[in-house]
Chains A and B, each alone.
Chain A
Amino acid sequence: GAVVSQHPSRVICKSGTSVKIECRSLDFQATTMFWYRQFPKQSLMLMATSNEGSKATYEQGVEKDKFLINHASLTLSTLTVTSAHPEDSSFYICSATGDSNQPQHFGDGTRLSIL
């Protein structure tokens, strides 16, 4: 089955630090990747949609200057949380799909803790 790798799995850093999370599709070309955020015992919330070679589309309420997304190739998308603060602490998870008739395959997520 399709494999999506997300790295790192866990980050603990000081307030003000910028953190980069990578999402890679290992065995298929992902024309579209998605970034979600999940708070404890809550549902996944879509943050942004990333298409290879174009600017990401952000959901309402998500600051694009805060959460920088780059989708430079068909197998890699990155999410950078800039100047992270404790309220940015959360579980971030990416997904990837090759086309709209295929399901999204998810990475294992990144638990971000800002001290």
Chain B
Amino acid sequence: SQELEQSPQSLIVQEGKNLTINCTSSKTLYGLYWYKQKYGEGLIFLMMLQKGGEEKSHEKITAKLDEKKQQSSLHITASQPSHAGIYLCGADVNSGGGADGLTFGKGTHLIIQP
């Protein structure tokens, strides 16, 4: 079963509008990472969240991790064409110390309409 559920699968938003992408797990997330990917290319790091209730912002993008550390959201304000792409949430679901490989959601394909 998919450990990380990401929604929506695809999203078409008019330029200038706000949008939210969600990432949910049945397991505790010991690190939650948001990346952006253009199809067939590498991942660009956006945000890292590790503490329950944590919220981080960079430019027009805000990411939150809930208190229970099982759900995260990525919010984009006043979307622009440059925001188009595939957004992936990745999570460390292992409680042990040390760097662990990430479990990824299936991604959200964001299209910005002019």
Interface residues of A (CB under 8 A from B): 1, 4, 6, 31-32, 34, 36, 42-46, 48-49, 59, 91, 93, 95, 97, 99-101, 103-109, 111
Q: Chain A: interface secondary structure? A: strand
Question: Within the complex, which residue of B48, B106, B107 is in contact with A103, where a contact is CB–CB below 8 Å?
Answer: B48
Known A-B contacts A43-B107, A103-B48, A106-B35; the reply to A97 vs B41 at CB < 8 A is no
Would you call B101 and A49 a contact (CB within 8 A)?
yes
**Which residues of chain A are near B42, meaning CB under 8 Å?**
4, 6, 93, 106-109
- 26 residue pairs bridging A and B, Cβ less than 8 Å apart: A4-B42, A34-B101, A42-B106, A43-B104, A43-B105, A43-B107, A44-B43, A44-B88, A44-B90, A44-B102, A44-B104, A46-B101, A48-B101, A49-B100, A93-B43, A100-B98, A100-B99, A103-B48, A104-B99, A104-B102, A106-B43, A106-B44, A106-B45, A107-B42, A109-B40, A111-B40
Q: Establish whether residues B97 and A100, one from each chain, have CB atoms under 8 Å apart when the complex forms.
A: yes
Q: Which of A43, A101, A104, A111 contacts B33 (CB 8 A)?
A: A104
Given A4-B42, A105-B45, 8 more pairs with CB closer than 8 A: A6-B42, A43-B105, A49-B100, A93-B43, A95-B43, A100-B99, A100-B100, A104-B99
B87-103 vs A, CB cutoff 8 Å, 1 = contact: the mask equals 01010000001111111
User: Which B residues contact A (CB, under 8 angstroms)?
Assistant: 31, 33, 35, 40-45, 48, 50, 88, 90, 97-107
Chain A residues near B99: list those with CB within 8 A: 31-32, 49, 97, 99-100, 104
A45, A91, A95 interface centre (most CB from chain B within 10 Å): A95
CA distance A101 to B40 in the complex (A): 27
Contact among B41, B50, B104 for A109, CB-based, below 8 A = B41
CB neighbours of B98 from chain A (8 A): 32, 100
> Complex: how many Å from CA A55 to CA B106?
29
A47 to B40, CA, bound (A): 18
A49 to B100, CA, bound (A): 8
A100 to chain B, nearest CB (A): 4
